[in-house]
Amino acid sequence: MRFADTTALKIAMIEASRAIIAAEPELTRVDSVIGDGDHGIGLIEQLSENNFSTPYDLFHAVGLCLVKSMGGSSGVLFGTLFISGLEEIKDKDSLNGVDMAAFLSGGIQGVIRRGRANPGDKTMVDALLPAESEMNSALKSTDDLGQVLKAAHKGALSGVESTKNMVSRLGRSKNFREQVIGWPDPGAMSVSILLGGLANSLSQD
User: Which residues here bind ligand ADP, judged by CB under 6 A?
Assistant: 31, 34, 72-74, 77, 111, 115-117, 123-125, 170-172, 185-188
**Binding partner of 41, given ligand ADP, Mg ion, none, CB within 5-8 angstroms per partner class:** none
DSSP state of 93: S
The site partner of 68 among Mg ion, ligand ADP, none (C-beta below 5 to 8 Å per kind) is none
Residue 135 contact among Mg ion, ligand ADP, none, beta carbon within 5 to 8 Å by kind: none
Using left for φ > 0, alpha for ψ between -120 and 50, and beta otherwise, residue 122 falls in left
Distance, in Å, from the CA atom of 19 to the CA atom of 15, rounded to the nearest integer, reads 6
| Nearest residue (CB) to Mg ion, 32 versus 137 | 32
Residue 117 contacts which entry, ligand ADP, Mg ion, none (Cβ below 5-8 A, type-dependent): ligand ADP
**Shortest reach from residue 15's CB to ligand ADP, in Å:** 22
- Site mask for Mg ion (CB under 5 A), range 14-53, x = bound: --------------------x-------------------
Q: Which residue in 53, 55, 75 sits closest to 13, CA to CA?
A: 55
Mutual angle of helices 6-22 and 39-49, in 10-degree steps: 150
Query: In angstroms, rounded to a whole number, what is the distance separating the alpha carbons of residues 143 and 52?
Result: 24
Judged by beta carbon, residue 58 or residue 189, the one nearer ligand ADP is 189
Burial, 18: exposed, middle or buried (Cβ in 10 Å; 0-12, 13-18, 19+)? middle
Q: Which residues of the chain form contacts with Mg ion (CB under 5 A)?
A: 34
